[in-house]
Amino acid sequence: MSETQTETQTETAAEREAALGGIGCDKQRKEDARFIRGQGNYVDDIKLPNMVFGDFVRSPHAHARIKSIDAEKAKAVPGVIAVLTADDLKPLNLHWMPTLAGDTQAVLADEKVHFQNQEVAFVIAEDRYAAADGIQLVEVEYEELPVLIDPKAALEDDAPILREDVKDNDEVGQGPRRHPNHIFNWQSGDKDATDRAFDGAAVTVMEEMFYQRVHPAPIETCGCVASMDPVGGRLTLYGTFQAPHVVRTVVSLISGLAESNIRVVSPDVGGGFGNKVGPYPGYVCAVVGSIVLGRPVKWIESRIDNISTTAFARDYHMSCELAADKDGRITGLRANVLADHGAFNTHAQPMKWPAGFFNIVTGSYDIPAAHVTVDGVYTNKAPGGVAYRCSFRVAEAAYLIERMLDVLAQKVGVDKAEIRLRNFIKAEQFPYQSCLGWEYDSGDYTTALKQAMAAVGYDDLRKEQAEKRARGELMGIGIATFTEIVGAGPSRNCDILGIKMFESCEIRVHPTGSAIARLGTKSTGQGHETTYAQIIASEIGIPSDLITVEEGDTDTAPYGLGTYGSRTTPVGAAAAVRAGRKIREKAKKIAAHMLEVSESDLEWDVDRFTVKGVPDLSATMKDIAMAAYSNLPEGLEPGLEVVDYYDPPNMTYPFGAYICVVDIDRHTGEVSVRKFYALDDCGTRINPMIIEGQVHGGLTEAFAIAMGQEIVYDEIGNVLGASLLDYFLPTAVETPHWETDFTVTPSPHHPIGAKGVGESPNVGGVPALSNAIVDAFAHLDVTHMPMPHTAWRVWQTCHELGIDK
Ligand code: CDP
């Protein structure tokens, strides 16, 4: 027996387990050692020898024909090396690029511009300043065209055609289109059954809601460094990528370079939130620039470029009807959506789902019949349609159903918690088949809401509200009991460009008993280096401190589809668990050889295999690791390394019960969030401290969206408010205090029962806040108020009601 074993012999199993720092412990984040010292390595920190800088000439117009581009003066600026236009990219067939949604997007505007700040020319210079000077001197002559900002107007018969390049092409919408500005029509559910539910309904309600256009606001904007080795013919692309392998494949497809000659590296990334999934013109121009010049080219967005041109989110014009019996039990749901996708259809979601997972819109409620239609439309706005900290349109769906429950409660005169309790899918109904086609894996919504109501003292709050109303004061209580759908996804219905959305993990155990794990996901701040190590520690019995986690380098990580839509835990973590279990299987063979027993005589005990009935006879994982390279049974190959590719059988369905209390000043419209309680259930909890951090962050973004964020355009397509002076990014000063809580309902199909969590607070937080604000006016017969709930807008409601004086 080894020394190690003698040292640890006296420790109890519980002590050994604690020493692992595995699943369930509040382990401090490993990555923070570098982040809090300012030692992160972000893309703009990358400085390569001979590197040059690229920046864009952008269109001042939202819709215009380009009559000419004259770059002579720009080229004369000292330091300017080259100016690329669409004409330069045409011979390479790179002036347009495919989008992840089956459309094409102009890399540099080809004859026409379709939105303000669209990329028109790429100026490459020795430094950023020369590039900025060059941009000013590129002369572009435009002929302005009529602008379409309203998606409804875009579908009128005489509306100007925006995308002349695809006006007769049904491929862009993956199906028939009814107007040149129409992209797709997508339907889900049973129309006839839904019509029947409405025909016989005792009560119906209807509301129109607009989930405004917002933009994820990561601290770090998008950027890249493209470095083509002119001798070896190998391209290295460093960038802010949430899905580096997908970028490698796309770059290979559009450049014609062999994928083996492309290395994509995501270094540290300062927040993604869906903004950094898809490809952008800057990446293509930097790559072309580097190939042409034989020098590394860096492109880093400004904040205004980021907010006004890279992927936006939401912009869903929704109408919804509910049918119910007289007690408020819902019998049918109809939802129709006009989805403004901007100038190019560049939404980033699984190919089969043009409206993402919007058909999770029946939410946490047992609704027998539903029918949903979504129409995508082109307008003269920036392209996108990404999942801003949510899973592919679940945010829009949750907002709609959670608001509609309140609308229905007001109509039938039932308390807003009670209406939810009446309509919930019951714990015993899981796995639950929704009428829109999803199989919810697990949930216990009633327990969660009751726990939340008890924690905030719900009945007392309602009493206080009644007293305040009697005094003319405005106090609102908002509830959201949402269900998320995360973990794209099962290969039968989730792919990107035909590639199935599995996830991968490779583990290598080193001879001296430490390990490295590499994964196809990519952290943009969620703490993956810590939590993956915790999971693997629990599976293989090596302390998490001794497990290095690497993501983001396509030369080393196994192929994966990246991080967005809370895929990490449902898909990536499952791959990590399974890879760990494969390590353990091989380790067992080695242990049997070391202990001279058969495998069936061994049992796993935290960090070692023990001979059944003889607890003193054991082989620790540390000893097994060395034996894997030095003392193997006959016929077993050396080493202790595995790769696992995990194709999930289903999504996971985390859920939450949020309660928010607001006080509103009727003279100014100012809203003060007095209390916000968030109960989240994400199944098995890997690191409770990280979960709490995720919830705080997500709620803060929800607060931003509900209270202030909106990308607004004027009638000629000028984007108003694309800087952080105008676009609301809450600081610690404005952000309310968050109270967190949890229940644990494990997922039955996930290897450790875990579900995602990072997006739940954004998905559930927005309707909780919005519901609270509308609830403050519910006694005055207000059923809906548009987001964002700025003081000005709330005051307008007070003014219209005559209560502002
Ligand atoms: O895909 P993404 O990392 O954005 O989302 P996630 O799966 O919700 O995970 C966010 C962070 O929370 C990761 O560090 C997870 O490991 C952690 N987490 C956890 O500790 N326990 C869970 N049940 C879910 C997430």
The CA 349 to ligand 1 mean position distance, Å, reads: 19
Mean pLDDT of 448-470: 98
Q: Is the CB of 687 under 6 A from ligand 1?
A: yes
Give me the helices (H) in 492-573, please: 528-540
- Nearest residue (by CA) to ligand 1, atom 23, is 685
Report the range of poorest mean pLDDT among 28-32, 165-169, 264-268: 165-169
Q: Is the CB of 568 under 6 A from ligand 1?
A: yes
Q: Is the CB of 691 under 6 A from ligand 1?
A: yes
Q: Is the CB of 528 under 6 A from ligand 1?
A: yes
Return the beta strands (E) in 85-189 as ranges: 96-98, 104-106, 112-113, 119-125, 139-144, 182-189
Residue 754 has pLDDT above 60, yes or no: yes
**Quick one: pLDDT band at residue 350, thresholds 50, 70, 90?**
confident
Per-residue model confidence (pLDDT) at position 732: 93
Q: Is the CB of 747 under 6 A from ligand 1?
A: no
Closest ligand 1 atom to the C-alpha of 573? 16
17, 422, 759, 798: which is the annotated catalytic residue?
759
Q: Is 759 a catalytic residue?
A: yes
- Across the chain, mean pLDDT equals 96
Residue 101 has pLDDT above 90, yes or no: no
Q: Domains in the chain and their CATH numbers?
A: 3-37+503-646 (3.30.365.10), 43-145+227-269+277-303 (3.90.1170.50), 312-488+651-801 (3.30.365.10)
Q: Is the CB of 754 under 6 A from ligand 1?
A: yes
Amino acid present at 286? A
Per-residue model confidence (pLDDT) at position 169: 87
The CA 566 to ligand 1 mean position distance, Å, reads: 7
Per-residue model confidence (pLDDT) at position 426: 98
Q: Is 390 a catalytic residue?
A: yes
- Nearest residue (by CA) to ligand 1, atom 22, is 685
C-alpha to C-alpha distances, 126 to 299, 414, 674, nearest whole angstrom: 12, 67, 53
Closest ligand 1 atom to the C-alpha of 535? 16
Closest ligand 1 atom to the C-alpha of 567? 1
- Nearest residue (by CA) to ligand 1, atom 24, is 756
* Rounded Cα gap, residues 348 and 384, in angstroms: 8
Give the residue among 366, 361, 331, 326 at the shortest CA–CA distance from 197: 331
The CA 621 to ligand 1 mean position distance, Å, reads: 27
Q: Give me the count of residues in the chain.
A: 805
Mean pLDDT of 457-466: 98
Per-residue model confidence (pLDDT) at position 9: 57
Cα 456–chain centre separation: 30
Is residue 118 a contact partner of residue 309, using CB atoms and an 8 Å limit? Answer: yes
Amino acid present at 134? G
Mean pLDDT of 153-162: 97
Mean pLDDT of 219-237: 96
Q: Is the CB of 694 under 6 A from ligand 1?
A: yes
Give the residue among 702, 564, 581, 586 at the shortest CA–CA distance from 636: 586
* Rounded Cα gap, residues 747 and 734, in angstroms: 36
Amino acid present at 760? S
C-alpha torsion sign, points 492, 493, 494, 496: positive
**Quick one: pLDDT band at residue 618, thresholds 50, 70, 90?**
very high
Q: Is the CB of 488 under 6 A from ligand 1?
A: no
Closest ligand 1 atom to the C-alpha of 758? 8
**Phi and psi angles of residue 229, each rounded to the nearest 5 degrees, phi first:** -85, 105
To test the pocket of ligand 1, the residue of 577, 757, 759, 760 to mutate (highest count of ligand atoms within 8 Å of its CB) is 757
Per-residue model confidence (pLDDT) at position 7: 47
Indicate whether this model's pTM tops 0.75.
yes
Per-residue model confidence (pLDDT) at position 220: 97
Q: Is 393 a catalytic residue?
A: no
Mean pLDDT of 120-143: 98
- Per-residue model confidence as pLDDT tens digits over 528-577: 999 999 999 999 999 999 999 999 999 999 999 999 988 999 999 999 99
Closest ligand 1 atom to the C-alpha of 534? 16
The CA 332 to ligand 1 mean position distance, Å, reads: 34
Is residue 535 a contact partner of residue 505, using CB atoms and an 8 Å limit? Answer: no
Mean pLDDT of 126-154: 98
Q: Is the CB of 690 under 6 A from ligand 1?
A: yes
242, 349, 526, 709: which is the annotated catalytic residue?
242
213, 389, 393, 685: which is the annotated catalytic residue?
389
Q: What percent of the chain has pLDDT over 70?
A: 99
Residue 1 has pLDDT above 70, yes or no: no
Per-residue model confidence (pLDDT) at position 116: 98
390, 660, 682, 798: which is the annotated catalytic residue?
390
Q: Is the CB of 750 under 6 A from ligand 1?
A: no
Is residue 611 a contact partner of residue 618, using CB atoms and an 8 Å limit? Answer: yes
To test the pocket of ligand 1, the residue of 686, 701, 740, 760 to mutate (highest count of ligand atoms within 8 Å of its CB) is 686
Residue 2 has pLDDT above 50, yes or no: no
Mean pLDDT of 235-255: 94
Per-residue model confidence (pLDDT) at position 497: 82
- Per-residue model confidence as pLDDT tens digits over 667-694: 999 999 999 999 999 999 999 999 999 9
To test the pocket of ligand 1, the residue of 266, 275, 569, 742 to mutate (highest count of ligand atoms within 8 Å of its CB) is 569
The CA 301 to ligand 1 mean position distance, Å, reads: 28
The CA 174 to ligand 1 mean position distance, Å, reads: 33
Return the beta strands (E) in 230-311 as ranges: 234-239, 262-265, 297-300
Mean pLDDT of 497-512: 94
Residue 6 has pLDDT above 50, yes or no: no
* Cα radius of gyration (the chain): 28
